[in-house]
Amino acid sequence: MKTRTLGRNGLQVSALGLGCMGMSFGYGGADDAQSVRTLQHAVELGVTHFDTAEVYGPYVNEELVGRALKAVRGQVTIATKFGFRISPHGEGVARMAGVDSRPEHVRTAVEGSLKRLGVETIDLLYQHRVDPQVAIEDTMGAMAELVRAGKVRHLGLSEVSAATLRRAHAVHPIAAVQSEYSLWSRDQENEVLPACAELGVGFVPYSPLGRGFLTGKLSTTQGLAADDYRRTLPRFQDQAMQSNRVLLEALVTLAGRRGCTPAQLALAWLLAQGEQIMPIPGVRQIKHLEENVAAADIVLRTDELAAIRAALPDEKIVGQRYGAKELEMINL
């Protein structure tokens, strides 16, 4: 697979990474044996970048990723995230009890992640969400100390504003910003992506397939597990799904003309938005992994890119990408 570079300090990664959250968290059910096979096959296909976080599970996703990639540690980069206060009570999302980016919490969280991943150094450490009670300069200072100590190689931020990115970057070079970005979530194009280009910061889109919606295979939530996080999101409510499904038909048609799947077309469009962009679609099954990886070889013409963008006008997408509580934690 072709490679891309995140940031100006030479973090080289495969053009497509792999988001590992759904293997343990958020989408209902977990099959660790299947996930291990998928992770290991991803390496065989040329994927070198794997994304996890302490809150996925919580904790168990880091353990899964570390266990699956132990034998190929030298061939891959592993990214993880800190920033949530995790309650000992409840299940899944319910254990996310606010944010915490105090310097002492940063250090404790990283020690836990290193142990669970079974590694000596984290390749890319993200602040998962900005803590409005802690100056970004203080959090970045603690993260920079971990780089100097050899426990972390590169630093990143997730779901931040352009202003916060600039403040953080002034303390220590930022390799990547991770935020939701896809054909049906394009607000990052207004300020954050231009700031990344200006500062030489890579951009890592999560949910690049709209949490499965852009695959064209998800028309209702009826087949989702009872505890699937998507059931709570505004865009996955029945009326919104019906309206957005009408828009999606144009993408399905374009994919048919191109001889690929809607998912592949959506990923190829994202990859064409800039060499600093590395999407991390999440998969659990090998067949979906192979489909996504093939998208890295699709080269789209200028007229095709324009037609794809026009197929899903962002102003016509129905529903917010998060609920009100989650929206309060982004773009800070």
Residues involved in catalysis: 56
List the beta bridge partners of residue 3.
14
What is the maximal distance between C-alpha atoms in the chain?
Answer: 54
Buried b (16+ CB within 10 A) or exposed e, 73-99: eeebbbbbbbbbebeeeeebeebbeeb
DSSP symbol at 319: S
Look-up: residue for tokens 């630093």?
155
Which residue from 194, 232, 239, 190 is spatially nearest to 211, judged by alpha carbons? Answer: 232
Cα torsion 284, 53, 32, 11 to 10°: value is 70
**C-beta separation of 204 from 17 below 8 A:** yes
Distance between CA 197 and CA 214 in Å, rounded?
26
Which residue from 59, 244, 51, 255 is spatially nearest to 158, judged by alpha carbons? Answer: 51
Distance between CA 36 and CA 32 in Å, rounded?
6
Distance between CA 273 and CA 263 in Å, rounded?
16
